Structure 1
């Protein structure tokens, strides 16, 4: 385990070195990538781009598939579903595997109006109404802010523009953490959720086996580190992501290192990794976030609790206590389906079980493949039959 931690740490440092060579400037989308709407329209589906500004000034981009070309009419008022990606990911996650497999297309085919969020700090959401992404203060946020500021702005915008009273929510990894944070801190939003499907749910991390998560134990804590670490985390850059795509092509001597790094993050499952698609995936992933968001997960590992960000001595000013408060999961009265991978090293079945016990209206589901890991929820060869068909059935049942 210690060797795996240091291997992942070295891979992380190599990525940062490539990022430094490509320049610190954080541009929205590298020119070598197809724009998100084009990824959708090339398959004959309509695509829209929307922007919304959060209460604290971050300008977020959302992508939408309003209907499927397989539908009989575009005029029907369709139920809305919102998809929220995980850490260092983007809305591309939901379409990258194409119409036959990716969840966004399957939901559109199933009659849904599909909206996809992009959390602050990823390659589609690096703007602010006052701050430049070149400034450290821009990056002073965790997934807590993504939950309590980004999600309300997006949910309210969607409901206003569709005329609906509620929507269904599907999150992967950090997309589930954001949801649990929001509903705990702002419980009024439970009324706006018809049903929530949590893919690889993350709240408790007592049993995580992922070196990617465990590296956070090496990071110092305190106000000083928080100040100097306000920088992007795995930003999407033309050079660094392009090199990843090149290194991970089938037949290269570095290809096995790429796959092993992914497996050390999320769990091993060689049979479900589409290695032909991997270079394309790595042009869009990682998509960027903040170091503080990653560190917040490390705090969950160390504390064993699902709680707000630990600012050190500043806690006394911010929370009125030496320690940050736990999120009150009793406030979550939305119905929740927890969909768990048996071989997920990040969001382990043990931690998902603990979460289920603390959520008032949660049902536990395990994917029917013992080797199923964290990234298989997005990129598995059989993701349609193993996961996405189940997601559609859960949404229709609720």
Structure 2
């Protein structure tokens, strides 16, 4: 007991120092790049279009790529020339568009001014505050997992409709250290609002602990409050959220669409690729519950940034040392700062500069007036054990950083289909083959080329060389990075529209 107390005190002091140094470095980095460099230099230093990405190598089929050019429009006044190279053989679209946001950034003209001027820019850490202005109610539910964690599930509905309807359900699942408010923080320019406005029944799912950690004491003892990682989130949280949505739909639909970002995509692919092991001894199978998986910035393989940033390398080296990070909540000071400062501009600013410094993400493609709002809905509580799953260098632990190949083997087919799979050798199959593509979820991948946190090119190469092409569709977006798939000003045009155009939507069953 005394040793545990020592661990808590020492790790608290170390993480406070760690966060303080990180914040100072982030503020200096922001000041230097924003104020001491000339504007022209800042544009040159922006990593967009300079990344030495891994090469995408489709299999040789003898077919040539079909290249076409199309023009879309943000509005009747501002046409956007979209450059798209389409590879119909491998089912991938290369979005080569450069939107020139670096030039428009300081311009007085903004093609989205009508929408932005209607947005309330007051900072309130509550989605309902903003969505009530759109005549949308956000119902909040609590969902209890089988292992005793109480999750938050948010439901968007119009003020004039009841809590049940016949709309097709879409569940959105967030990334690491975020809540699913990240899908909705752009208001009328967000993917959550867009899907709701397009006639879908939108549910925002949140993983365990979140903003306010809650546990079912009949199922869980205090010793288990922080004893969980991504395996637990995949096994229990995904099942609880999906089954809850389908139950609240009164079994009108047997499946739903999962729209996931970053860590949410990791949970989804873990459940699909390794489902037989993860869900063994249960009746639940993720592949039987999804019509579609929409993966935004999919996190399946680690990217080069994990080996480049000093603070990330420090975390990886010491994450297993309980004297440094403890063994409960990961850097709890982050949540204390949020509880104290969320809703103030300084909190959103500090959150942005820290993300910018750690991961080289920037707001060039975002709507600047909405930037501070995005950071109202993060961070959230996570466990040290979850960060160990992501970063640990311990060879005895299966972490994302060192064991991704074992979890997601490149050379094996994850979604085999009878008479269509590249290799019919079952030793090269991760799962049992199925007779038709419709027996697997349709997988839509939106992979940003500027994302160095994860290796999207490696995942693309896996799909185009080892998966049946009828199972997936890929968009490879040149100028997007990890968070642009949520918050870019043109996210509806570049992700929302093509996503809805390719979803597989069943009719309601109207089960009695």
Shift of residue 81, structure 1, vs aligned partner: 0.5
Query: Who is 1:242 aligned against?
Result: 341
Query: Who is 2:495 aligned against?
Result: 387
Query: Who is 2:385 aligned against?
Result: 292
Q: What TM-score do the two structures reach when normalised by structure 2?
A: 0.59
Q: Secondary structure at the match of 1:150?
A: helix
Query: Structure 2 vs 1, CA of residues 132 and 375 (structure 1 numbering), >3 Å: closer, same or farther?
Result: farther
Q: Structure 2, unaligned stretches of length 5 or more?
A: 1-14, 25-122, 392-398, 409-428, 434-439, 507-512
**How far apart, in 2, do the equivalents of 1:16 and 1:159 lie?**
43
Query: Structure 2 vs 1, CA of residues 260 and 108 (structure 1 numbering), >3 Å: closer, same or farther?
Result: same
**How far apart, in 2, do the equivalents of 1:359 and 1:81 lie?**
25
Shift of residue 243, structure 1, vs aligned partner: 7.5
Q: What TM-score do the two structures reach when normalised by structure 1?
A: 0.74
Q: Secondary structure at the match of 1:38?
A: helix
Given the alignment, which residue of 154, 175, 196 partners 1:86? 175
Q: Secondary structure at the match of 2:150?
A: strand
Aligned pairs (5 A) from 1:27-42? 33-42=124-133
Query: Who is 1:139 aligned against?
Result: 226
Query: Who is 1:345 aligned against?
Result: 452
Shift of residue 131, structure 1, vs aligned partner: 8.4
Are 1:44 and 2:152 counterparts?
A: no
**How far apart, in 2, do the equivalents of 1:267 and 1:329 lie?**
35
Q: Secondary structure at the match of 1:42?
A: helix
**How far apart, in 1, do the equivalents of 2:23 and 2:303 lie?**
31
Could you say which structure has the larger radius of gyration?
2
**How far apart, in 2, do the equivalents of 1:396 and 1:45 lie?**
26
Query: Structure 2 vs 1, CA of residues 331 and 38 (structure 1 numbering), >3 Å: closer, same or farther?
Result: farther
**How far apart, in 2, do the equivalents of 1:383 and 1:66 lie?**
22
Report if aligned partners of 2:140, 2:152 keep a CA contact under 8 Å in 1: yes
Instruction: State which drifts further: 168-177 or 136-145.
Output: 136-145
Report if aligned partners of 1:241, 1:284 keep a CA contact under 8 Å in 2: no
**How far apart, in 1, do the equivalents of 2:185 and 2:337 lie?**
18
Query: Who is 1:320 aligned against?
Result: none
Aligned CA-pair RMSD: 3.8
CA distances 1:216-261 after superposition (whole Å, capped 9, x unpaired): 4322548x67994222456534557727954477xxxxx6x86553
Q: Secondary structure at the match of 1:87?
A: coil
Are 1:161 and 2:161 counterparts?
A: no
Q: Secondary structure at the match of 1:373?
A: coil
Aligned pairs (5 A) from 1:1-398? 13-14=19-20, 33-67=124-158, 77-99=166-188, 101-124=189-212, 126-130=213-217, 137-162=224-249, 163=251, 164-183=253-272, 184-185=274-275, 186=279, 188-205=285-302, 207-208=304-305, 211=309, 214-219=313-318, 221=320, 228-233=326-331, 235-237=334-336, 242=341, 246-247=345-346, 259=352, 261-298=354-391, 299-305=399-405, 307=407, 330=431, 333-356=440-463, 357=465, 361-367=471-477, 370-395=478-503
